[in-house]
Amino acid sequence: MAESCDLAVIVPTFNEEENIAAMIGAVDAVFRENGIRGEVLVVDDDSKDRTIPIVREIAARQENVRLIVRKEDHGLSQSVVEGFRSARSDILLVIDADFSHPPKLIPRFYEAIRGGADIAIGSRYMEGGDIEKWPLARRIVSLGATAFGRLLFPEVTDPVSGFFAVRREVVDGAPLAPRGYKILMEVLGRGRWDSFTEIPFVFRDREEGESKLRAGTVIDYLRQCAGIVRFSITHRAGPVSDEWTKVLRFGLVGLSGILVNMGLLYALTEIAGLYYLVSAVIAIELSIVSNFVFNDVWTFRSARDLRFERNLRRFWSFQTVSMAGLAVNMGVLYLLVDVAGVYYLAANLAGIFIAFAWNYTANRHYTWRGA
């Protein structure tokens, strides 16, 4: 193995003759301007245009530029993983060849990893990020993919970004199963990491050449998500599994709340002799309190801040979300029964399910944000 360097910039390519020379030049200029000892690693899938001779020629002149030409198992993610393996650095960055990702931001990714983050993600969907010149259809597909990805990684605003950097240990020896386009999802789902940071950037659509994204990419993506979920269930580790553990606990706490509610309704009505509607109001409120306590000390214990006013803030937030959840449940019940003519017990099940999704999401992101 040759001398190691500070940063390896991996550029996957397939038919990029219009862009690749300029891209290598831009990355190399960033290295020089910022005093980074970096290498550019072009991982090509046996392009049919002039990409290979162009890069070969540059690599012959410049020792920090290398080319890998792959002949088998064609694919963007596979190419990136091959780049990870062959890179001569402990910090790895992935960037598209078509200038959709601004090379000028490379030092920020590099510094983020050096500063302690395991993964640095270029995000189009956080404050300061944006997408330029994308047709509406493409935006919608991308938003759908992103929303889906966020179910797995709720803290990450752009889990399908193609612009990111990782510390080598995150991917070294990790059981990555690269397929399709979304290599970052795979790294997040199966890599070994604790912390990440996001860096906003403006995605510019390519000026030269065309996107290689096809319908099959969407299928690949869904299969990949399923694979990550399966992995996290069987391995019981990693962020996806942590998230589903919370969902499960939140559900169990909800069930315990039903028991509390029923028990109190019975006791207050039969033993204390209260009018049943009065008992019901008290029972509902006390079950909200007990749900809050269990979720606070069990489900979301990682997000607790024990200062009194913070406890109070969380409680009011939970109370408000629960009341809204009750309204959601009733609203769905009414709409399904009176408007859609659904059998009321089936409609109630749907109401409970939707209210649960609302309660979980709102509490996860607001009441116990940072959990």
Positions that interact with ligand GDD (CB under 6 A): 12-14, 16, 43-45, 74-76, 79, 96-98, 100, 142, 160, 162, 181-182, 206, 211-213
CB of 8 to ligand GDD, least distance (A): 16
Task: Find which of ligand GDD, Mn ion, none residue 220 binds, CB within 5 to 8 Å per kind.
Answer: none
Candidate ranges 96-104, 145-153, 262-270, 329-337; the one touching Mn ion (CB under 5 A): 96-104
CB 87 within 8 A of CB 8: yes
Q: Which is nearer to ligand GDD, 161 or 329 (CB)?
A: 161
Sign of CA dihedral 252, 312, 362, 336: positive
For Mn ion, which is the closer residue by CB, 79 or 100? 100
CB-wise, 211 or 302, nearer to ligand GDD?
211
| Nearest residue to 205 via CA among 255, 277, 134 | 134
**Which of 114, 130, 139, 301 lies closest to 197, judged by CA?**
114
Q: Are 164 and 93 in contact (CB under 8 A)?
A: yes
The total number of residues written for the chain in this structure: 371
Tell me which amino acid residue 193 is. Answer: W
User: 99: Cβ–Cβ under 8 A, 6 or more apart, which residues?
Assistant: 19, 22, 23, 26, 204, 206, 207
> Cα-atom radius of gyration of the chain, to the nearest Å?
26
Residue 49, number of CB atoms within 10 A of its CB: 15
Q: Which is nearer to Mn ion, 96 or 243 (CB)?
A: 96
Report the nearest approach of Mn ion to the CB of residue 40 (Å). Answer: 18
Look at residues 309, 355, 361 and name the one whose alpha carbon lies nearest to residue 332. 355
204 lies in the site for Mn ion, by CB under 5 A: no
Which residue, 140 or 252, is less far from ligand GDD as judged by CB?
A: 140
SS3 label, residue 120: strand
Nearer to ligand GDD, 144 or 263 (CB): 144
Residue 45 interacting partner from Mn ion, ligand GDD, none (CB closer than 5 to 8 Å by kind): ligand GDD
Out of ligand GDD, Mn ion, none, what residue 13 binds, judged by CB under 5 to 8 A for its kind, is ligand GDD
Phi, psi of 296 (to 5 degrees): -70, -40
Which residue, 157 or 261, has its beta carbon nearer to ligand GDD? 157
Beta strand ranges found along the chain (DSSP E): 7-13, 38-44, 65-69, 91-94, 119-123, 130-132, 164-167, 196-200, 202-204
For residue 100, state whether it binds Mn ion (rule: CB under 5 A): yes
d(CA 119, CA 236): 21
Q: Which does 149 bind (CB under 5 to 8 A by kind): ligand GDD, Mn ion, none?
A: none
* Smaller CB separation from Mn ion, 218 or 354: 218
User: Which does residue 160 bind out of ligand GDD, Mn ion, none, counting CB within 5 to 8 angstroms by kind?
Assistant: ligand GDD
The least distance separating ligand GDD from the CB of residue 167, rounded to whole angstroms, comes to 20
Non-local CB neighbours of 282 within 8 Å, separated by 6+ positions: 264, 268, 274
42 binds, among ligand GDD, Mn ion, none (CB under 5 to 8 A by kind): none
Which tokens go with 80? Answer: 């990136």
Distances (CA, A) of 156 to 121, 361, 364: 8, 15, 14
Per rule CB under 5 A, is residue 206 in the interface with Mn ion? yes
- Minimum Å gap between C-beta 139 and ligand GDD is 9
Query: Minimum CB separation from Mn ion for residue 12, in Å?
Result: 11
17, 45, 82, 98: residue in contact with Mn ion (rule CB under 5 A): 98
Q: Which sign does the torsion angle of CA 148, 149, 155, 159 carry?
A: negative
CB of 243 to ligand GDD, least distance (A): 21
| Smallest separation, CB 45 to ligand GDD (Å) | 4
Return the range that interacts with Mn ion (CB under 5 A); candidates 27-35, 93-101, 312-320, 332-340. 93-101
At its nearest, how many Å lie between ligand GDD and the CB of residue 209? 8
Residue nearer to Mn ion on the CB measure, 100 or 261: 100
Contact residues for Mn ion, defined by CB under 5 A: 98, 100, 206
